[in-house]
Chains A and B, each alone.
Chain A
Amino acid sequence: MNGAEFVPLSLVPLLTGICVAVACALPGNFLVLRRQALIGDAISHVVLPGIVVAFLIGGTISTLPMLLGAAGAAVIAVGAIEAVRRLGRIETGAAMGVVFTTMFAGGVLLLEQSDTSSVHLDVEHALYGNLESLIWLDATGWSSLLDPQALASLPVELPRMAATLLVVTGFIVLFWRPLKISTFDEGFARTIGLRTSPLGLALVIMAAIAAVAAFDAVGSIIVIAMFICPPAAARLMTNRLEHQLAWSVGFATLAAVLGYVLAGYGPLWIGMQDSVSAAGMIATVSGLILGVTALVGPHRLRGSAAPVG
């Protein structure tokens, strides 16, 4: 594929996919180690009703109302999870499962009942996003990357996701030590004066920002997969947190690139007519990567061999 074809059609979806994958995988490392991986799952589901309600009120799909709707839904979800946990007397994981599936289902019903035919908002979009449709119309080749006029028509999802990735990365770099210490030993962290509750909340907010920003471009499936699969696979490759984050970034990027290429060309290679969903394929590839590392990762057998007493 030459530049004249690649740049307008594939460059933007590829870069957006990579940004989404890495932006979710980075906070995912800490969420998985804190046994809060389900939070990413919950956030990416409750975003849907928030966005639909924001659309019904505002009548357009624009970034700000959607972000506000998603944030509002996340706040309601946190309150509802706490209420279900206390009133229903069930554990947090189960309360989350109940709340986010209910809210997601409510969002689907709302979506079906409302007139969204004029805009690109439907159940399929919520799950798979529209990665393939991020076409850069004005691009003619690699030279367009330096052409201000062509850059002006760059799909907005890419700069938005790039900015999100920058914010998430900045947060993790700046708060690396407090995050590491409080994830390992929260009690000790408090005794040296670290404010562990605001820090934990900030981590969840970072995950929420990544999930909400990614939702529009790529849908919820890939978000859920990227919060968990690359970090979990990376843990099996190394025994150091620094290296684990590097591996997770590598795996996330690999999943995004391989998934996009396989979705576009894989079916053709095996003689089928149409390409498949890129988001679906990226999530699948990330799961396969986890499967492979679980079978051959150098640190997959830890724990069973380590003494307990």
Chain B
Amino acid sequence: MSVTLASERHPETGQTSREDSPLAVRGMTVSYGQKPAVFSVDMTVEPGKMTAIIGPNGAGKSTLLKAALGIHKPLAGTTTVFGKPVGQQRHRIAYVPQRASVDWDFPTRVIDVVLMGLYPQLGLLGRVRPAHRARAEDCLTRVGMEDFAGRQIGQLSGGQQQRVFLARALAQDADLYLLDEPFAGVDAATEKAIIGVLKSLRDAGKTVVAVHHDLSTVTDYFDNVFLINTRRIAEGPVKTTFVTANLQDAYGGRLAGAQMEALALS
């Protein structure tokens, strides 16, 4: 029921149909306890663009992404990836979790983490061949981490860890890249390196979706925005969607009016 209601309340704004969309979410509702973290959310990601998912803390940004990917089981809702159920399209998706979600003291090396991205090719018992290793090293080079291949992951800085995660996603050679707070707690050089890689992916025709918290960089980094605060607030091109009225809706009193006007384009 809530699926239909949500669709009525939020008619499609963009031209992208559900079949074309690299990531289309319908009626997504997720709850951790009594209160829903994400309520009846629809999202239709435009192909070949960089989309930022923004909203205040606890608005359900990461939860929406995890539920869409099937990491969390939603109460209701469906996800299609390039027109098919997400379960059939895993080989076309690369997911970069929040850096803080894993234990970096885990006994493994940088190169081993990148090789995890090749698991779909390697399978249970397939041997890691020189070609696999070369590809993993190439991905490390693309994020500027080629000198760290043999390093234990716990010895890296936060920014370096984030780049290793991105290298693992690159190794997956996907069409849809989903990143959860890729710029959280990283140094300026890393932020620049990561946005460079993401833009080159976009320019190669890939679709990039990132949970993002730094409103001051939205217009520089992204083509589209998706605003959420438990419910969907708005989605569309930065130019027409990243505006004061929508930010007011999403953030309410948490942003000062002056701050909002400085950020938004309207």
A contact set with B: CB distance below 8 Å:
33, 174-178, 180-181, 183-185, 187-188, 190-194, 235, 238-241, 243-244, 302-303, 306-309
B contact set with A: CB distance below 8 Å:
66, 69-71, 87, 90, 93, 95, 97, 101-109, 112-113, 116, 119-120, 122-125, 152, 154-158, 168, 172, 185
**Do A306 and B107 have beta carbons less than 8 Å apart?**
no
Q: Distance (Å) between the CB of B106 and the closest chain A CB?
A: 5
Q: Which residues of A contact B104 (CB under 8 A)?
A: 306
**Do A188 and B106 have beta carbons less than 8 Å apart?**
no
Contact (A184, B158) CB under 8 Å given A175-B124, A191-B71, A239-B152: no
**Do B95 and A188 have beta carbons less than 8 Å apart?**
yes
**Do A240 and B109 have beta carbons less than 8 Å apart?**
yes
**Do B71 and A190 have beta carbons less than 8 Å apart?**
yes
Interface of A is mostly: helix
**Do A177 and B105 have beta carbons less than 8 Å apart?**
no
Question: Other than the known A188-B97, A244-B107, what 7 A-B pairs have Cβ atoms closer than 8 Å?
Answer: A174-B124, A177-B123, A185-B102, A192-B119, A240-B108, A240-B109, A240-B112
A184 and B87 alpha carbons, distance in the complex (Å)? 22
The residue from B112, B116, B157, B158 contacting A188, defined by CB atoms under 8 A apart: B116
Q: Distance (Å) between the CB of A151 and the closest chain B CB?
A: 34
Q: Distance (Å) between the CB of B257 and the closest chain A CB?
A: 32
A243: nearest residue on chain B (CB-CB)?
A: B107
A191 and B93 alpha carbons, distance in the complex (Å)? 8
- Tell me how many residue pairs across A and B have CB atoms closer than 8 Å: 88
Q: Distance (Å) between the CB of B161 and the closest chain A CB?
A: 9
Contact (A184, B122) CB under 8 Å given A190-B70, A191-B95, A193-B90: no
Q: Which residues of B contact A303 (CB under 8 A)?
A: 105, 154
Q: Which residues of B contact A177 (CB under 8 A)?
A: 119, 122-124
Q: Which residues of A contact B119 (CB under 8 A)?
A: 177, 181, 192, 194
Q: Distance (Å) between the CB of B184 and the closest chain A CB?
A: 10
A241: nearest residue on chain B (CB-CB)?
A: B107
A174 and B185 alpha carbons, distance in the complex (Å)? 37
Jot down 7 A-B pairs with beta carbons below 8 A, ordered by A: A180-B116, A183-B106, A192-B120, A240-B152, A244-B107, A306-B156, A307-B158
A176 and B108 alpha carbons, distance in the complex (Å)? 14
**Do B108 and A184 have beta carbons less than 8 Å apart?**
yes
Closest 8 CB pairs of A and B: A239-B152, A191-B95, A193-B90, A187-B97, A306-B154, A185-B102, A184-B106, A307-B157
**Do B109 and A185 have beta carbons less than 8 Å apart?**
no
Q: Distance (Å) between the CB of B31 and the closest chain A CB?
A: 16
**Do B154 and A302 have beta carbons less than 8 Å apart?**
yes
A142 and B108 alpha carbons, distance in the complex (Å)? 43
Q: Distance (Å) between the CB of B62 and the closest chain A CB?
A: 10
A88 and B101 alpha carbons, distance in the complex (Å)? 27
A244 and B168 alpha carbons, distance in the complex (Å)? 23
A71 and B105 alpha carbons, distance in the complex (Å)? 34
Q: Which residues of A contact B105 (CB under 8 A)?
A: 302-303, 306
Q: Which residues of A contact B102 (CB under 8 A)?
A: 184-185
Q: Which residues of B contact A190 (CB under 8 A)?
A: 69-71
Q: Distance (Å) between the CB of A300 and the closest chain B CB?
A: 12
**Do B101 and A185 have beta carbons less than 8 Å apart?**
yes
Q: Which residues of A contact B168 (CB under 8 A)?
A: 188
Q: Distance (Å) between the CB of B86 and the closest chain A CB?
A: 9
Q: Which residues of A contact B103 (CB under 8 A)?
A: 33, 184
Q: Which residues of A contact B152 (CB under 8 A)?
A: 239-240, 302
Q: Distance (Å) between the CB of B144 and the closest chain A CB?
A: 17
Q: Which residues of B contact A194 (CB under 8 A)?
A: 119
